């Protein structure tokens, strides 16, 4: 089926970089890009209500096909009105195909040309996901952006292994495209794999873009490879993607990763980092990374981040946040997650503002310098 019409348009570009300001249009609302998607793997951004997530500035979230297929079952969600109604999230939702989660199962999975046979991490039951089933699940969920099933190339991988893996991803992408039945309201993105080999990445771009998807994602990065190698893959692959389609960097990452990738023309990001770090007491600020359990905060009456406008920073001291975390209180998870998500949303707001002013290159230089100084 042909791609969606007017799914994405570029509003402004930065004269000193490849950064661009865009608008993503879906039936559930618009997304201003570059954007970060909080991860709601099982139909919830952990520790936060949907209203809270929206109030923090999130316009789109990510949910996971693999997890929702296993529990509670995509057919149940469909019968209850789709994922938006099921979780009461009014905005756009992107669903990952589950390829990375199946990849993470290791010995519990077997990959064939037909699909992936795996054991559930919940009860050990056996399942088989094919490109066609991945699309069927996502159409049942009725999310706004679907992803093709892909095979995430491991790190490290030799050239032949990466080439074989890419061949599978390309075949599955074509099957996903053919399986799609709803092109009027659900976008479908193709995924660029190829491991850490630029030759394979270029080959993947040529093949996947020829299939004419609504958007394109760079997958198979941030899987254990050295950071400079990841940055090289992104910086040399992103410029090859069609300018008129959204560019999505999957599973990335740190604030520094995001700032560098925007410079290469990336529009969408997702990562569990802000929520997972929050649950483990690691909190983001521009001045420092705060490990809230540290004894140095026991009597600290100051806010977590004096520059932050979130509910946590406006109402509670570092001493109180430390007390909650050390005591194992549930409120600690909520307040910490609320702050970290708002930190990421504020970062994206600053990024979009800099691009809009045509000053992104200067923003990137200043931001990365400040981050290095804070960690020195």
**pLDDT tens-digit series, residues 336-363:** 999 999 999 999 999 999 999 999 999 9
Mean pLDDT, range 65-91, rounded to an integer: 97
pLDDT at 293: 98
Tell me: pLDDT of 312 over 70.
yes
Tell me: pLDDT of 13 over 90.
yes
Active site residue 270: yes
Tell me: pLDDT of 311 over 80.
yes
Q: What confidence category does residue 4 fall into, taking pLDDT thresholds of 50, 70 and 90?
A: confident
Active site residue 150: no
Specify the pTM: 0.97
How confident is the prediction for the chain on average, in pLDDT?
96
pLDDT at 374: 82
pLDDT at 5: 65
Q: What percent of the chain has pLDDT over 90?
A: 90
Catalytic residue, chosen from 14, 96, 257, 305, is 96
Dihedral over Cα of 43, 48, 49, 52: its sign: negative
Rg (CA), the chain: 20
Mean pLDDT, range 248-264, rounded to an integer: 97
Catalytic residue, chosen from 214, 257, 263, 270, is 270
Mean pLDDT, range 129-142, rounded to an integer: 97
Q: What confidence category does residue 1 fall into, taking pLDDT thresholds of 50, 70 and 90?
A: low
Joined together, the tokens standing for residue 49 give: 């209500």
Q: What confidence category does residue 181 fall into, taking pLDDT thresholds of 50, 70 and 90?
A: very high
Tell me: pLDDT of 2 over 80.
no
pLDDT at 376: 66
pLDDT at 103: 75
Domain ranges of the chain: 8-271, 278-374
Q: Which CATH number fits domain 8-271: 3.65.10.10, 3.30.450.40, 3.20.20.105, 3.40.720.10?
A: 3.20.20.105
223-255 as b/e, with b when 16 or more CB fall inside 10 Å? bebeeeebbebbeebbeebeeebbbbbbbbbbb
């Amino acid at each position: 089926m042909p791609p969606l019409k007017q799914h994405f348009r570029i509003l402004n570009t930065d004269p000193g970089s490849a950064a661009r300001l865009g608008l993503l249009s879906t039936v559930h609302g618009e997304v201003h890009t570059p954007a970060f998607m909080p991860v709601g793997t099982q139909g919830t951004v952990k520790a936060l209500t949907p209203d809270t997530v929206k109030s923090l500035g999130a316009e789109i979230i990510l949910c996971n096909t693999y997890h929702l297929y296993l529990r509670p079952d995509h057919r149940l969600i469909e019968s209850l009105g789709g994922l938006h109604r099921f979780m009461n999230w009014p905005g756009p939702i992107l669903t990952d195909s589950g390829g990375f989660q199946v990849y993470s199962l290791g010995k519990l999975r077997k990959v064939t040309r037909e699909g992936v046979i795996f054991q559930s991490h919940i009860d050990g039951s056996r399942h088989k996901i094919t490109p066609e089933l991945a699309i069927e699940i996502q159409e049942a969920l009725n999310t706004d952006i679907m992803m093709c099933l892909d095979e995430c190339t491991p790190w490290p991988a030799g050239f032949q292994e990466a080439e074989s893996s890419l061949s599978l991803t390309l075949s599955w992408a074509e099957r996903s495209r053919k399986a799609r039945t709803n092109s009027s309201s659900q976008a479908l993105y193709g995924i660029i794999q190829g491991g850490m080999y630029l030759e394979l990445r270029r080959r993947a771009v040529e093949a996947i873009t020829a299939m004419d998807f609504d958007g394109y994602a760079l997958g198979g990065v941030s899987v254990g490879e050295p950071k400079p190698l990841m940055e090289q893959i992104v910086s040399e692959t992103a410029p090859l993607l069609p300018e008129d389609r959204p560019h999505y960097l999957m599973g990335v990452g740190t604030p520094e990763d995001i700032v560098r990738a925007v410079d290469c023309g990336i529009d969408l990001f997702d990562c569990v980092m802000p929520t997972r770090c929050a649950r483990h007491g690691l909190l983001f600020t521009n001045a420092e990374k705060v490990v809230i359990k540290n004894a140095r905060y026991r009597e600290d009456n100051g806010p977590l981040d004096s520059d932050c406008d979130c509910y946590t920073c406006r109402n509670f001291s570092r001493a109180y946040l430390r007390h909650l975390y050390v005591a194992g209180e549930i409120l600690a998870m909520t307040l910490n997650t609320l702050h970290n998500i708002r930190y990421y949303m504020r970062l994206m707001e600053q990024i979009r503002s800099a691009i809009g002013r045509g000053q992104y290159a200067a923003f990137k230089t200043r931001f990365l310098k400040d981050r290095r100084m804070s960690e020195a």
